[in-house]
Amino acid sequence: MREPFFGGVRLVDQKAASRRKQIGSVPAPELMTFPMNLCPSCPAVPCVRVGERVRMGQKIGEGGEAGVPVHSSVSGTVLAVEPRPTAAGEAFLAVVVKNDALDTPAPDIQPRERIETRSAEELLHIIREAGVVDLDGGGAPTHARLRAARGRVDFLILNGMEGEPYLTGEYRLLMERPGEIVAGAAILRQILGVKETCLAVERTRGEAIDLFEDTGFLTKNGIRLVPLPPKYPLGTDRELARMVARRRVPLRGKAEDVGVFVLDVATAAAIARAVLDGVSFVSRIVTVAGGAVRRTRNCEVRIGTPLRALVSAASGFRGEPYKVLVGGPMTGVAQFDLEVPVEKTTSALLALTGAEDVPPEPPRCIRCGRCVSVCPMGLLPMYLSIYAARRDFRMLDKLELDLCTECGACAYICPGRVPLVHQLRMAKHEKRMSETGGDALAGR
């Protein structure tokens, strides 16, 4: 019998409107903006100048040894290299390209043959040069994670859980492009040398489950399908290692510490395109949904496309949205400027009405303890909130604030509507800035 999942919440998934929407496209507008922090942990350095001609897939930013490069998703002319706002609410150095609408490809975009004869180091180099990062929200350089895991893991889990409401991009990827995911899994096995590969999906994804079970497509390719309960946030590396591989990750450890490597299905597909087709990471699937948009969509969107173009592709707003989010409603970031660009980790653009995101009354903790019962890390969010307000970093350390994954389960379940995730996220930022001697308010 499978172990129960501690904590978490059962969400109203709000996926009915987008689940059956096939992957469409969004035309690239005239101006495209490419922040050099598309890999958040390792920003790139621009390697083009104003006035220079660039081609689609050409490198325009060089990542450091631990980072990844940034590529242009269109051909055209560099108009500016200057700070521009990002979805995170901060200005960051960016390259602005005027799209010539020709999509002239870079000359090095060529399919590759005989991949099975390439070494793991060669494959890792290809993945890095293509700019592939983990698309589950973290944006970590995929090649670096794979290199660190080599020789330490024997179990690969492809994460297809996609637990946040509204989001269905990965589900459509499973339904429409399963071959890319399977090809990515084969490349991952070649790099890691793992013995077992599983695909984890929610039990509610009946169509995808039936498709794979009826055709035997996964089994033929050495992948075992594992349906799991639709409980959020079950799709974390830690919980997937425990639920699928039956291995417990140490409190401050990673899944790799117990021999398990977890990667989301969208990143696996990106690896396949990079290695087999020679295509740089210049586009991703984004769900455009919410009660305030006229037409819900799943779209293949080029990196650098302004959010306003996604709204246009959804036929605009029905009315003034109460809130616009980049990402899911549990972990997404509210937006005030629709000119900010789609980034590699942009999974969704949600325009919510007041009925979907009820305006809170003055928030207050009623000491019910429900936030404690749903925290998958076993933390005490109500007390973390109290000490965050006091900026008592000593107590925040004692209560292990750094273990918070910012999944949002505590804020979702809170009857007093306390914005716990925002409070704890800001507490982490202020604590980090206090330790480095920076201005704690600089990133707000």
> What is residue 1's predicted lDDT score, i.e. its pLDDT?
45
> 408 in a domain, yes or no?
yes
Whether residue 69 is preceded by a cis peptide bond, meaning omega within 30 degrees of 0, is no
> What is residue 73's predicted lDDT score, i.e. its pLDDT?
97
> 72 in a domain, yes or no?
no
- Collect the ranges in the chain with pLDDT lower than 70: 1-6, 39-41, 137, 358-360, 437-444
Q: Where are the alpha helices (DSSP H) in 228-336?
A: 237-243, 265-277, 307-313
Same domain, yes or no: 246 and 119 = yes
Contacts of 179 (CB under 8 A, 6+ apart): none
Q: Is 110 left (phi over 0), alpha (psi -120 to 50) or beta?
A: beta
d(CA 95, CA 93): 7
Contacts of 349 (CB under 8 A, 6+ apart): 286, 287, 288, 289, 307, 310, 311, 324, 325, 326
User: Locate tokens 């349906």: which residue?
Assistant: 227
Cα 179 versus chain centre, distance: 21
pLDDT digit string, tens, across residues 158-204: 999 998 999 999 999 999 999 999 999 999 999 999 989 999 999 88
> 64 in a domain, yes or no?
no
Choose one of 259, 277, 295: the last residue of a domain: 277
Single out the residue of 411, 440, 275, 270 nearest to residue 344, CA to CA: 270
Element (H, E) at 79: strand 76-85
> What is residue 439's predicted lDDT score, i.e. its pLDDT?
44
Domain that holds residue 121: 115-277
Same domain, yes or no: 254 and 396 = no
Same domain, yes or no: 273 and 374 = no
- DSSP notation for 213-239: HHHTHHHHTT-EEEEE---BTTTSHHH
Q: How many domains does the chain have?
A: 2
d(CA 287, CA 223): 27
> What is residue 307's predicted lDDT score, i.e. its pLDDT?
97
> What is residue 443's predicted lDDT score, i.e. its pLDDT?
36
Same domain, yes or no: 260 and 379 = no
Same domain, yes or no: 244 and 383 = no
> 80 in a domain, yes or no?
no
> What is residue 217's predicted lDDT score, i.e. its pLDDT?
87
Same domain, yes or no: 396 and 273 = no
> 241 in a domain, yes or no?
yes
> 184 in a domain, yes or no?
yes
> 2 in a domain, yes or no?
no
> 102 in a domain, yes or no?
no
Choose one of 277, 298, 324: the last residue of a domain: 277
Same domain, yes or no: 273 and 380 = no
> What is residue 205's predicted lDDT score, i.e. its pLDDT?
81
Choose one of 247, 277, 307: the last residue of a domain: 277
Single out the residue of 72, 74, 27, 35 nearest to residue 340, CA to CA: 35
Single out the residue of 320, 313, 317 nearest to residue 342, CA to CA: 313
pLDDT digit string, tens, across residues 244-299: 999 999 988 999 999 999 999 999 999 999 999 999 999 999 999 999 999 999 99
- DSSP notation for 118-136: S-HHHHHHHHHHTT-B-TT
CATH classification of the domain holding 218: 3.40.50.11540
Packing angle, helices 178-192 and 120-129, rounded to 10: 130
